[in-house]
Amino acid sequence: MRIPLYFFLFILLSGCTRIPQPASYAYSEQQKMQAAQHWDILASDVANQINNQLISSDYLDKAVFVKATCGSDAVPCDQGETSQFNEGFRDLLITRLVHFGVPTSIEKKLSDIEVDYKVQVIYHSTSRSSLPPGALTVLTTAVSVLRSVPGEIQAIATAVGLDIFNAAAPSVGHYEVIITTSMVADEKYLFRTSDIYYINDPDFWHYQNTSQGKTIQMVSTGR
C-alpha cells in the first residue's frame, strides 16, 4: 500500500517545531562617551536626580557620602584599584552635588546617605553599524528610477549610493559601558539609575578598574 505524498509531508512537518523568527529592535539612538565633559554632563544629571529624590523623600537636612565601588555596591575600591572614570566621575559628582546645595560629607558618617556607583564594560565581538531608517528605501528607489539607463551607469549609481549610506551608517565599535548609581538609606535603595553609552574602542581602559578583569563579553556564535 502506497502512502500518499501529501500524507508523508504532513507527518514530516508535524514533527518540526516552529520557533519565533529573530527580529531586531526598532531604530533608536544611544549616546557615546568621548570626552571628560560628557562625564560632567552625566554627573550633573545624576546629581540633579539625587537632589530631587532627597527633596521628595524629605531628607533635605541629610548629608550624602559619595563612595566609588569596584564590582559590587558593598565593596569599596582599594588604593590604586579604581579606574580613571571612577575617580573623575566621583569628583565631578561631588562638585555637582555641592552646586545643587546638597550637604556632602568628606568622610562617611553613620547618619549619612550613601551614594555609590559602579561601571560595567561590555565587549561585543562582532562588528556593528547603524543605518538610519529609510536609507535602504531611498537607495532602492533611486536605483529603480535608473532602470532604463545603461547597466554601467546603474552599477556606478548603485556603488555611489552604497558609499554614501555606508558613510551615513557609522560603526559603533565593540565596547559599551553601563554606569549604575545608587543612593542607599537604612539598607534600602532610595534611588537608583543605570545609564548605557557607547565608547571608543581604544578608550575602554578609562572605565576598566586596574584589577577588575571582568569585562562582559557578548560573543556571536554565527548562528
Mark whether 38 and 91 lie in a shared domain.
Answer: yes
pTM: 0.68
Q: Is residue 195 part of a domain?
A: yes
Q: How confident is the model at residue 103 (pLDDT cuts 50, 70, 90)?
A: very high
Question: Same domain, yes or no, for 162 and 66?
Answer: no
117 and 60 share a domain?
A: yes
Does some domain include residue 21?
no
Q: Note whether 118 and 200 are same-domain residues.
A: yes
Same domain, 120 and 73: yes
Report, as an integer, the average pLDDT of 151-160: 54
Q: Confidence class of residue 221 from pLDDT cuts 50, 70 and 90?
A: low
Q: Is residue 24 part of a domain?
A: no
Alpha helix segments (H runs only) across the chain: 5-14, 36-56, 84-99, 135-145, 151-168
Pairing of strands 64-68, 113-124: parallel
Shared-domain flag, residues 105 and 41: yes
Instruction: Give the pLDDT of residue 6.
Output: 52
At residue 164, the pLDDT reads 54
CB neighbours of 83 closer than 8 A, spacing ≥ 6?
119, 205, 206, 207, 208, 209, 210, 212
Distances (CA, A) of 1 to 4, 7, 10, 68: 9, 13, 18, 78
In a domain? residue 11:
no
**In this structure, is residue 99 part of a structural domain?**
yes
Domain assignment present for 74: yes
Q: Identify whether 15 is part of a domain.
A: no
Q: How many domains does the chain have?
A: 2
- Whether residues 124 and 188 share a domain: the answer is yes
pLDDT at 148 over 80: no
Per-residue pLDDT at 213: 45
- 194 by DSSP, 3-state: which? strand
Residues 47 and 73 in one domain: yes
Per the structure, the complete domain to which residue 187 belongs is given by 32-128+173-218
The answer to whether residues 62 and 156 belong to one domain is no
The whole-angstrom separation of Cα 61 and Cα 112 is 10
51 and 154 in a single domain? The answer is no
* Most confident segment among 9-18, 66-75, 180-189, 211-220: 180-189
**Residue 178, pLDDT above cutoff 90:** yes
pLDDT of residue 87 exceeding 60, the answer is yes
Rg (CA), the chain: 26
The answer to whether residue 223 is domain-embedded is no
Last residue of a domain, one of 170, 187, 202: 170
Phi/psi at 212 (5° precision): -70, -65
Q: Which residues lie across from 116 on neighbouring strands? A: 67, 182
Cell numbers representing residue 35 in the block: 570626552
Indicate if 147 and 75 belong to the same structural domain.
Answer: no
> Based on the domain organization, do 144 and 213 belong to the same domain?
no
Q: Which residues contact 50 (CB under 8 A, 6 or more apart)?
A: 64, 97, 102, 115, 181, 183, 191
